[in-house]
């Protein structure tokens, strides 16, 4: 595939993320009216999630109707080449009126993510990356932080009810004992965007699926960081853990994390 086709997909990903984000904000303003279903403990889905994914699919299909697409809400056939979409990452926050949720869209070719966009409709920020071209926020180049010392680091620490509480507690205890501060925005894609942007120095989560992180991992890598050991294509129930940040901090953290 030539560069022009990937550039076109990046443009479409931005357009789809903005369209989906605008719709998500509309639903957010009237979230009390939404029908909500429970997929599992603390795992919710609303009419908004499905409507936003439908809008994203519509925008992408307008230019690339033959591209495979897999989304968190409407599914699809996973493919080595195609789109991976999380229409609202941070649904718990969304439904509680907490403005920490994003739209995440990635395009993968031959098993490797080539395009990634994370849009925060609450701030208007668009984090975008094209493999080999770097990462940006609102068109301005971004880099991961240069903080490699644990006693100066601010870390995102994720949690999942699918893992024992002891795992989360042990992780927090280990990094706090090393002198780090922690944050949990309950939105993996947002935390990865913050790592790419240097707002967080690193982030760790014990249970993530492909649509949570496909765009964010590329952002971190193109912003000069590293992400380990997530295996692309995890669509559940086989989730994977992820540690992402600047390379020095990732190396320092790996011995401390389960």
H-state helical runs in the chain = 3-29, 47-63, 91-96, 165-177, 188-196, 210-222, 247-253
**Residues in Cβ contact with 79 at an 8 Å cutoff, skipping those fewer than 6 apart:** 68, 70, 108
Reading the block at residue 139, the tokens are 């068109």
Is 49 labeled as ligand-binding?
no
**Residues in Cβ contact with 193 at an 8 Å cutoff, skipping those fewer than 6 apart:** 102, 118, 120, 125, 127, 137, 216, 219
Contact 201, 154 (CB under 8 A): yes
Q: What is the radius of gyration, based on Cα positions, of the chain?
A: 17
Is 217 labeled as ligand-binding?
no
Is 86 labeled as ligand-binding?
yes
Rounded CA gap, 215 and 87, in Å?
Answer: 12
Rounded CA gap, 258 and 193, in Å?
Answer: 23
Q: How far is CA 193 from CA 46, 80, 215, 232, 240, in A?
A: 24, 24, 9, 18, 19
Q: How far is CA 117 from CA 97, 153, 219, in A?
A: 23, 26, 8
Instruction: Centre a 10 Å sphere on the Cβ of residue 37 and count the other Cβ atoms it contains.
Output: 11
Is 72 labeled as ligand-binding?
yes
Is 120 labeled as ligand-binding?
no
Contact 89, 189 (CB under 8 A): yes
Annotated binding site for Mg(2+): 72, 86, 88-89, 212
Annotated binding site: 72, 86, 88-89, 212
């Amino acid at each position: 595939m030539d560069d022009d086709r990937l550039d076109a997909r990046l443009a479409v990903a931005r357009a789809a993320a903005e369209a989906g984000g605008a719709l998500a904000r509309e639903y957010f303003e009237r979230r009390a009216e939404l029908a909500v279903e429970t997929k599992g403990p603390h795992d919710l889905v609303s009419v908004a999630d499905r409507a936003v994914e439908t809008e994203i699919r519509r925008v992408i299909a307008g230019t690339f109707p033959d591209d495979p697409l897999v989304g968190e809400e409407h599914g699809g056939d996973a493919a080595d080449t195609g789109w991976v979409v999380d229409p609202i990452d941070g649904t718990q926050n969304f439904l509680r009126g907490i403005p920490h949720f994003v739209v995440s869209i990635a395009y993968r070719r031959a098993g490797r993510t080539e395009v990634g966009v994370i849009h925060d409709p609450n701030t208007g920020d668009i984090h975008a990356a094209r493999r080999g071209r770097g990462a940006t926020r609102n068109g301005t180049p971004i880099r991961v932080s240069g903080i490699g010392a644990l006693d100066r680091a601010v870390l995102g620490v994720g949690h999942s009810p699918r893992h024992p509480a002891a795992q989360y507690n042990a992780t927090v205890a280990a990094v706090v004992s090393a002198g780090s501060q922690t944050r949990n925005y309950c939105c993996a894609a947002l935390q990865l965007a913050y790592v790419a942007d240097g707002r967080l120095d690193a982030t760790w989560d014990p249970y993530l699926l492909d649509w949570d992180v496909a765009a964010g991992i590329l952002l971190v890598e193109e912003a000069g960081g590293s992400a380990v050991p997530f295996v692309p294509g995890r669509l559940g129930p086989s989730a994977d853990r992820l540690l992402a940040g600047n390379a020095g901090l990732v190396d320092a953290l790996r011995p401390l994390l389960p």
